[in-house]
Chains A and B, each alone.
Chain A
Amino acid sequence: MNVTAKDVMTPRFHTLSPEMPISEAVKRFRQATEAEGRKIFGMLVTDEEGRMVGMLSMYDILLFIQPKHVHIWGAMEDVDIVGLVDDACVRAGTILVGDIMTTDVISITPDTHLMAVLDIMIKKHIRRIPVLHDGRIEGIVYISDLFYHLVDKMM
């Protein structure tokens, strides 16, 4: 049987707008997580016409919060963690989703073979791939859905 992306994708998805402040995006992450009953780690970003312009993941937000030069510190016992988070919140105040989203997003079509989807996820270290048909978003393939789809056959 030729199993493709449309057989494992979730047709429900939540979106953000590039003009939305980061604080609003964080709120939407919470709402989406509650609505879906699963942890949502990344959301699609669309323009007014519903076209995908990027993706914002928790990783992107954490990258922004993380202090620069953290790699050269070594021992960090003199770091004021509370102050660090407060500073990050001040900086995030003027930042919009479009400023830190990932713009070069890999997408697939509903007809992409499951093995090709798996290959992309492994090689590119990504956990969710938007499914696009003629530029329109049809759904998302999550790595967990792909995982259970494949391993359930082992049982």
Chain B
Amino acid sequence: MGIVQKNTILSELTVREAMRRQVISLPREADLSAGIQRLIKFKVNALLITDAGAPAGVVSKTDIMGAYYAGLPIDLPLGDIMVSPPHFCRPEDSLEAALEQMREHGIYRLYVQGEGGAVAGVIAYPDIAGILYQYCHECKYSRLRRSERSGDDPQLRFRVKEVMTPSVWSHGADEPLTAIMEGLSEYRMGAALIVDEDGAPAGVVSKTDLALAYRHGCDAGVPARSIMTAPVRSCGEEAFLEAAIRTLIFSQIHRIFVFREAPSRITGVLSLSDAARVRSGSCHACVSSRITVGDPA
């Protein structure tokens, strides 16, 4: 008898189960404005760029932000700013392997190469967080459906503070968009917390907000307050991870700010990427159940 350690539930799930089959793409000749239009319309963070129909590169919201910062014209071809080549995985790869590949290359999504080399789908961090949520939902110990089960040990459940990034940087509401973009780029973040004169959270400027501002012809020197989204979505440090994930997913936001005691005291941020990196469902039972005693090989 030996101890068999399976890493996480992500080793058992494949890319096929979590990938999205709709891949939003544009030819390299299409301009940045058309690219942003697709990103907004289909609610995706990146586009696959094709050259004569074949995958040639990727343009993400981060690349769009870079173009905005550099003052590039909105009618520039997407091919001029794309990052190539696109990275691929296979439908039969485990989610664990896909996450490894993303981390190795410092990227947030992989395209999925199906039979015959055709593009069969795309998988990104939110898709993985989504399947973890679904996994918890179907679990026989699920608290998502029965929130008040007697005899449950709340210690088993992850709390937001265990998973969040415990530092937040913020910008003043009067700082120009260029300063926000510098911050987002430096900290590799998807959104910036905007605070008022008293340091209280006033709003959020995300890469989506910046892409829209770029497309709408907004000057990059305008203050953050003119395009920020308010109010700030936040949750307490002690909140259960699954509740936070549910808010993230259904509100279609990529991060939720975390406060201690009062919403005015922001202490961290939880992103869907953080949730995916937990590599488990939303409770410790899921992790410990991965260590099973099996028959000798």
Contact = CB atoms under 8 A, between A and B. Distances in A.
Is B one of A's binding partners? Answer: yes
Interface of A: 60, 63-64, 67-69, 71-75, 77-80, 83-84, 87, 90-91, 94-96, 98-101, 103
Contact of B215 (A75, A77, A99): A99
Given A75-B137, A96-B216, A69 B249 contact: yes
24 contacts: A60-B41, A63-B42, A64-B41, A67-B249, A68-B43, A68-B126, A68-B252, A69-B126, A71-B20, A72-B18, A73-B137, A74-B134, A78-B145, A78-B246, A90-B229, A91-B252, A94-B209, A94-B227, A95-B212, A96-B216, A99-B36, A99-B212, A100-B37, A100-B41
B137 A94 contact: no
Contacts of A72: 18, 127, 130-131, 134
Nearest to A95: B40
Contacts of B138: 74
Interface of B: 18, 20, 34, 36-37, 40-43, 126-127, 130-131, 134, 137-138, 144-145, 209, 212, 215-216, 227, 229, 246, 249-252
Given A72-B134, A99-B41, 17 more contacts: A63-B42, A69-B126, A69-B130, A69-B249, A71-B20, A72-B18, A72-B127, A74-B134, A74-B138, A75-B137, A83-B250, A83-B251, A91-B252, A94-B227, A94-B229, A98-B37, A99-B40
A79 B43 CA distance: 20
Contact of A67 (B20, B42, B127, B250): B250
Contacts of A103: 34, 37
A74 B145 CA distance: 13
Contacts of B43: 64, 68
A53 to B, nearest CB: 11
A24 to B, nearest CB: 15
Nearest to B209: A94
Contact of A77 (B37, B127, B130, B145): B145
A40 B236 CA distance: 45
A24 B186 CA distance: 38
A87 B37 contact: no
A87 B229 contact: no
A66 B53 CA distance: 29
Contacts of B216: 96
B40 A74 contact: no
Contacts of B127: 69, 72
Contacts of A60: 41
A83 B145 CA distance: 18
Contacts of B42: 63
A96 to B, nearest CB: 7
B21 to A, nearest CB: 9
Contacts of B131: 72
Nearest to B34: A103
Contacts of A74: 134, 137-138
A98 B36 CA distance: 11
Contacts of B250: 67, 79-80, 83-84, 87
B232 to A, nearest CB: 12
- Cβ-closest 8 pairs across A and B: A69-B130, A87-B251, A100-B41, A99-B40, A72-B130, A68-B43, A72-B134, A67-B250
Contacts of A75: 137, 145
Nearest to A78: B144
A83 B126 CA distance: 20
A77 B36 CA distance: 34
